[in-house]
Amino acid sequence: MAQSIEKKSMKAKAKTATAAGVVALSSLSFYHAMNAVAATATMPIVAKLIRAIEITINTTMDFGTLAMTVDRAGQATLDPETDKLYIASHSSLSLAGGQPQAGRLQIRGSELPVTISVEETAVKLTNGTATVSVTDFNLLTARGGTYVTVTPTSNNPYVTMAVGATINTRVGQLSGSYVGAARIRANYQ
């Protein structure tokens, strides 16, 4: 009887092994069927590399030496097109020396449109104690505004431009040497 139980146990184990084998084979068959419907494709990849934009400041904007009366406000404008200083008729300012000149910068880039702009609409210059404002920045011409688009070419990857602005003194303005800076931004469109 012990032999009979052992034979039945072995038959049950054989059936289990056979069933496991059938499941394994059917799983393997299913796996092959899944691979039979899979597909592949090749994706093209492209990249265009261009020269980064470079900005070089060639000339500092300089209003020269201006004489003022402290009882009246003053206004003087550097014209980037003519590179001359124009003093408003109602102004208390007058040119007392120096060589006023518009700022000049150079943009170098690839043959794509480049937008150039002055980031601030007004900049404060300081003498360490007091400030004076510079406003109405103009690129290229007196009416150019604070934003312009240029396109470097293969023959000339450099674009040079002038930057003008207006200095505004106020009543009671302190004397002194005032300094400051305007941020210029250039970016591909």
CA terminus-to-terminus distance, the chain:
93
Please state, as a whole number, how many other Cβ atoms lie within 10 Å of the Cβ of residue 54.
Answer: 12
d(CA 84, CA 100): 7
Residue 96 sits at φ, ψ, to 5 deg, of: -115, 0
Which structure tokens are listed for 113? Answer: 């449109």
Encode pLDDT of 60-93 as tens digits. 999 999 999 989 999 999 999 999 999 999 889 9
d(CA 4, CA 151): 97
Q: Is the pLDDT of residue 32 over 90?
A: no
Rg (CA), the chain: 39
Encode pLDDT of 150-189 as tens digits. 899 888 889 999 999 999 999 999 999 999 999 999 999 8
Q: Is the pLDDT of residue 100 over 80?
A: yes
129: pLDDT confidence band, cut at 50, 70 and 90? very high
Which residue would you say has higher pLDDT here, 23 or 93?
A: 93
d(CA 117, CA 188): 12
